[in-house]
Amino acid sequence: MAAILDGFGPVRPAGPPPPAAGQRPRGRFWCRIDEGKWFGGVCLGIAAYGDFRVDWVRTVVLLLTLVTGGLLGIPYLVLLLVLPTVPTVADYRRRRDAPRPA
């Protein structure tokens, strides 16, 4: 049994390593997320930023677009062009919790 455990090595936590002394995590940031996107991934990025359910964010954006007569479409298109892209929600969380680059 000891030989098998030695072959596997030490157990490490599954999450990102804790930040070293004096380093803070990057924190939340605005982005677009490609995984599961409908129209550009902006709503999915907003949902990941605020830890909301994406279907609620999409519903609110649709209702506000209808109420404003389509004017919300202009800021949405600007965000679509300006925000950086992240492949998945898991990758967003990994980058959010990673230490800030020096």
- Is the pLDDT confidence value at 19 over 80? no
Q: Which residues constitute the domain of residue 68?
A: 26-91
Q: Is residue 30 part of a domain?
A: yes
Answer whether 0.75 is exceeded by the pTM: no
pLDDT bucket at 30, cuts 50 / 70 / 90: confident
Instruction: Please give the tally of structural domains in the chain.
Output: 1
Distance CA 98, CA 93 (A): 8
In a domain, 15, yes or no: no
| Residue 66 falls inside a structural domain | yes
Q: Does some domain include residue 17?
A: no
Q: Which region, left, alpha or beta, applies to residue 58 given φ > 0 means left and ψ of -120 to 50 means alpha?
A: alpha
In a domain, 82, yes or no: yes
Query: Residue 26: what pLDDT?
Result: 77
